[in-house]
Amino acid sequence: MVLRKLIVHNFIKSFIKIEKRSSVVIFKYSLTTMVGPSLHVSQPEVLVDEKVRVTVTGLRRHQKVTLLSTQVENNKNFASCGHFVADDHGSVDTFVHESHGGTYSGLQPMGLFTSTREPFGTSRLLKLDVTTPYDVTLSIHDDHREFAPLAREYMLSHSALAETSLKRWYMRPGVKKIIVDEDGIYGALLLPPGEGPFPGIVDVFGMAGGIMDYRAALLASHGFAAFSLAYIAYKDLPKKPEDLDVKYFLRGVEWLAGQSVVARGGVGMIGHCVGGSLCMTTSTLSPHVKVLVSTNGNPFMMLPQDIYIDDIAVRGTKFDVRKCTFTDEGVIQRDAFKEYNLKEHILPIWRRDIKTLIVVGEEDLCVDPLWQHDLEAAIPGDKKKNFRFVYYPGAGHLIEPPYSPLCKASYNKILGVTHLWGGEEEHHLPAQEDAWREILMFLNTHMTPKSQL
């Protein structure tokens, strides 16, 4: 009987603290296990290129749990999950503990974000409205749960051991977005906080159509006046690639260089895929372009017309669908320009001493990486100092801002086909993180020095 009373007394003392103030007895409950699991993020609002630490406390020692991430974008559900085992203290830390399954495995601190996908479809996670964040809900669930059934169950019931929310932005607070519709030039101008002037850069995406401004928004968040130039399938712009004209891109560069919020001394250009080729072409002709960045861009003309660059004739090219490889998953198009000839087609972008960064995914199924090696070999010795080539083995075509999921295939509404982009997660995801560091460092080094703004 005495032993039983002692056990009960010690049990109560373990979670009830008794204080006496005058004649009042105050009971304070302090046992953490009565509270249950708790889910935390290192910051509730971040830029998409910033890391987020996710931690769980209050679990049982060595408890198996599933950490689930869900969000809605473009009226579609996206999710990811990781399987964890709590440590001796009943905690999980995504920066310390490995995932044992789910949508990713191993020690990947940002795995919940890089493995985000549509659980019931194949849509690509894409930010079409940069004025809104990715609204992410994180939840913790008992045991190791299968991904799709858990995502479906949670989206219907919102039942979880604990949950919290997170906002991931492309636009830092204070960044302004201005839709441009001026003298036949279209796009979106993203401006950093403050009055400026700011280093200016023209951003040209691949052939997706409309305005694609999420990279421009992120560049503005890092201090650049970034102009996302629309060039196809928008208002009265051409609907087909063969109707594009290099003069439009020259006018777009001239427009940005003339803005009062843009620092004098020239602007930069950054382009991806066809956009990279268009930036290369424009930079060889425009006196305003001082810095060039291309990610998996074709180093030759992607326009049908021939052009003259000083005394050099550069032949236009045409897409030959017969040379594509068609699979059940999609189209491999990197052989569509088999007639490409180094001497007749390569763009002499070294002619104007533009500081140039070329980013290459060596498992690209859309643009042949060998063309980038050809470009590097063609640069005269005295001009090589202006170039930096960064090659990423195992990386595919869509080298996005860091912590974006790898997209291996997606539908192109302009060409009406599903493209295979290539890349393996274990190589592609680190490449995206490293490439973004390279791009920001390159732009900050070679754009107008901040001291002169």
Q: What is the SS3 string spanning 204-247?
A: ECCCCCCCCCHHHHHHHHCCCEEEEECCCCCCCCCCCHHHCCHH
Residue 333's closest CA among 205, 422, 419, 242? Answer: 419
Question: Residues near 258 by Cβ (< 8 Å), separated by ≥ 6?
Answer: none
Residue partners of 319: CB distance under 8 A and separation at least 6: 241, 333, 336, 337
- Active site annotation includes 446: no
Catalytic residue list contains 49: no
By DSSP bridging, strand 162-169 and strand 134-142 are antiparallel
Within 10 angstroms of residue 304's Cβ, the number of other Cβ atoms is 15
- Look at residue 1 in the predicted model and tell me its pLDDT: 45
Asked whether the domain spanning 176-452 has the same topology as the one spanning 37-169, the reply is no
pLDDT in tens, the chain (453 residues): 444 444 434 433 433 343 433 333 333 333 334 578 999 999 999 999 999 999 999 999 999 999 999 999 999 999 999 999 999 999 999 999 999 999 999 999 999 999 999 998 888 999 999 999 999 999 999 999 999 999 999 999 999 999 999 999 999 999 999 999 999 999 999 999 999 899 999 999 988 899 999 999 999 999 999 999 999 999 999 998 888 888 999 999 999 999 999 999 999 999 999 999 999 999 999 999 999 999 999 898 777 777 777 666 677 777 777 888 889 888 898 887 766 666 667 888 998 999 999 999 999 999 999 889 989 999 999 999 999 999 999 999 999 999 999 999 988 887 788 889 999 999 999 999 999 999 999 999 999 654 343
Fold topology of 176-452: Rossmann fold (3.40.50)
Which CATH number, 2.60.40.1180, 3.30.479.10, 2.60.40.2240, 3.40.50.620, labels domain 37-169? 2.60.40.2240
pTM: 0.89
Q: Mutual orientation of helices 274-285 and 246-257 as an angle, nearest 10°?
A: 70
The catalytic residue among 272, 397, 419, 446 is 397
Element counts in the chain: helices (H) and strands (E) = 9, 26
Question: Which sequence spans correspond to the domains of the chain?
Answer: 37-169, 176-452
Catalytic residue among 83, 364, 407, 419: 364
Task: Identify the pLDDT of residue 242.
Answer: 82
| Pairwise CA distance, residues 294 & 349, whole Å | 12
- Catalytic: which of 97, 213, 272, 273? 273
Query: Is 324 one of the catalytic residues?
Result: no
